[in-house]
């Protein structure tokens, strides 16, 4: 959530940033925030003055009663009753204004970093890095949804029977490759200084609000209505909420956590060839890295996270590219996001496998995540990234490494899964 003081002190900058995120009615919304805030201040001042008058009259009444001037005291009591009624009305008005102000603030997305390119669509994202050669496949090469049937490693029909579309069963060597990828990613994160946690995979509404999934993304999450709990869309949510309502010290920083979890996304309205097979699932596995940093350190931390993900893809021997997302293609909460995409040779298209983002103070403000400096508390910066999401990584491995004799397992995974060829 944007800080109110920042909006007040940087009105034009806020409007320009919201417009770069293609937020509708940016200027009107900012004016609404400023108007509500001024109204709130005026109401608070009026309430304070009314309470002060009431207190003064109460003292006056006490003095008159001591002097035996009962009739004069009784006359003043009528005024105090009026002031009490006025105070009650002002308190109710103040609460309503505070709620209204909060409701508007939570609709406003984070402002983009100055380096975010202009643009609204994915086609306007900026390609800033690429590595690896596009593999040349043999004549009978197939997309991964055919390969998984050929080698009997993933069963979508069985998943559909047990749960529904988008919930596959991984079987035999398919399950082992999944486990190999998870262990590889976790080991690499630990070597990079991340502390592993295993969080819950359901969250409450307060956690969803803290990281920005609520109140406007309910439709994207699975909701257990009886207990008002949500299945996590990513481990970012429970990990970052570990620090909700927390004041960290210098000794606690930097925070670097990693977790493997299943993730759940309804993906309502998704269909077509671009979501076939492993391209888009309702349940998928992911290893997530999260950092909490001081503001002056967060962009260096973001660079470190980018290098970490680059290292994973390099070791997996997958061709990949990095995109700096334009303002219109960024998430609601992000200030700067880089997407990693791997090339899927059989599909002849790029597949997103990771997003690495800096949220600056946006999530921290909602979470009340702070640190002490010079006796004062300040908001921290939060960052996270997929390192990595498994389905499309597995799709690219299957497609890019297929040969007439079988599918070659990347060398870095062979020790984890116990075989070097899938046949």
In the annotated binding site for L-serine, the residues are 234, 265, 288, 384
Across the beta sheet with 421-422, the strand order is 402-403, 406-408, 421-422
Sign of CA dihedral 368, 213, 16, 98: negative
Q: Residue 263 in contact with residue 235, Cβ under 8 Å? A: yes
Known binding-site positions for ATP:
265-267, 352-355
Burial class of residue 92 (count of CB atoms within 10 Å of its CB; 0-12, 13-18, 19+): exposed
Known binding-site positions:
234, 265-267, 288, 352-355, 384
Ramachandran angles phi, psi of 54, nearest 5°: -65, -40
H or E, element range at 229: strand 229-231
H or E, element range at 192: none
Distance, in Å, from the CA atom of 24 to the CA atom of 325, rounded to the nearest integer, reads: 19
Annotate 254-316 with DSSP letters as a single string.
SEEEEEEEEEE---TT--SGGGTGGGS-SEEEEEEEEEEE-GGGHHHHHHHHHHHHHHHHHHT
Distance, in Å, from the CA atom of 395 to the CA atom of 250, rounded to the nearest integer, reads: 42
Residue 332 DSSP class:
S
Chain center to CA of 348: 30
């Amino acid at each position: 959530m944007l800080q109110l003081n920042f909006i007040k002190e940087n009105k034009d900058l806020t409007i320009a940033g919201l417009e770069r995120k293609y937020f509708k009615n940016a200027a009107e919304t900012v004016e609404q925030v400023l108007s509500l805030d001024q109204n709130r201040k005026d109401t608070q001042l009026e309430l304070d003055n009314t309470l002060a008058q009431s207190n003064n009259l109460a003292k006056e009444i006490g003095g008159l009663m001591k002097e035996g001037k009962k009739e004069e005291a009784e006359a003043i009591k009528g005024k105090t009753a009026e002031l009490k009624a006025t105070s009650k009305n002002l308190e109710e008005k103040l609460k309503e204004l505070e709620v209204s102000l909060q409701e508007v603030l939570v609709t406003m997305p984070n402002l983009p970093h100055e380096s975010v390119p202009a643009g609204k669509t994915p086609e306007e994202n900026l390609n800033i890095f690429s590595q690896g050669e596009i593999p040349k496949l043999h004549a009978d090469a197939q997309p991964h949804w055919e390969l998984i049937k050929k080698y009997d490693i993933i069963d979508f029909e069985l998943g559909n029977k047990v749960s529904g579309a988008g919930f596959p069963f991984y079987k035999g060597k398919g399950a082992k490759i999944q486990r190999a990828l998870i262990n590889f990613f976790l080991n690499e994160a630990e070597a990079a200084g991340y502390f592993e946690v295993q969080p819950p995979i359901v969250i409450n509404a307060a956690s969803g609000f803290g990281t920005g999934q609520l109140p406007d993304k309910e439709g994207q999450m699975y909701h257990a209505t009886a207990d008002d709990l949500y299945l996590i869309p990513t481990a970012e949510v429970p990990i970052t909420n570990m620090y909700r309502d927390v004041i960290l010290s210098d000794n606690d920083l930097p925070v670097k956590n990693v977790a493997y979890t299943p993730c759940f996304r309804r993906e309502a309205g998704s269909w077509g060839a671009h979501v076939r097979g492993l391209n888009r699932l309702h349940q998928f596995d992911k290893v997530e890295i999260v950092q909490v940093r001081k503001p002056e350190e967060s962009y260096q931390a973001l660079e470190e996270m980018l290098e970490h993900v680059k290292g994973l893809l390099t070791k997996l021997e997958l061709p990949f590219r990095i995109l700096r997302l334009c303002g219109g293609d960024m998430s609601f909460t992000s200030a700067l996001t880089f997407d990693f995409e791997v090339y899927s040779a059989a599909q002849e298209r790029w597949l997103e496998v990771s997003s690495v983002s800096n949220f600056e103070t946006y999530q921290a403000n909602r979470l009340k995540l702070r640190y002490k400096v010079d006796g004062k508390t300040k908001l921290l910066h939060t960052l996270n990234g997929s390192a990595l999401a498994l389905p499309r990584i597995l799709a690219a491995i299957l497609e890019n490494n297929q040969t007439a004799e079988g599918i070659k397992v990347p060398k870095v995974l062979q020790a984890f899964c116990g075989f070097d060829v899938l046949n």
